[in-house]
Amino acid sequence: MKAVGLTVAGNRYEVKLEEEFAEFIVKDLEESGINMHTDNKPDKLLQAYLRLAKQANSYEEEIELLIETLDSL
């Protein structure tokens, strides 16, 4: 387990995650403009969430397309 923490609007939040997942989360948050060591505005966290939600939606659409393609074979 690895502790991942960030500060939003003056409040520090820390969670323990599995090592590999923690590394993914830190990398993704940093790519979204979240700084893990200083205070962040709530809108940046919302933007990071929406970025991941968009990716998840895209993956679901791709999976559905693959299933349809496989079904038609």
Query: 38-62 pLDDT, tens per residue?
Result: 999 999 999 999 999 999 999 999 9
| Rounded-to-integer distance, Cα 5 and Cα 7, Å | 7
Which among 72, 26, 51, 17 is positioned nearest to 43, based on CA atoms? 51
> 57 in helix, strand or coil?
helix
**16 and 1 in contact (C-beta within 8 Å)?**
yes
Would you place residue 1 in the very low, low, confident or very high pLDDT band (cuts 50, 70, 90)? very high
Q: Name the pLDDT band for 73 (thresholds 50, 70, 90).
A: confident
> Hey, what are 56's tokens?
């998840």
Backbone angles phi and psi of 2, in degrees to 5: -130, 135
Q: What is the pLDDT of residue 50?
A: 95
**pTM of the full structure:** 0.76
Domain boundaries, the chain: 2-71
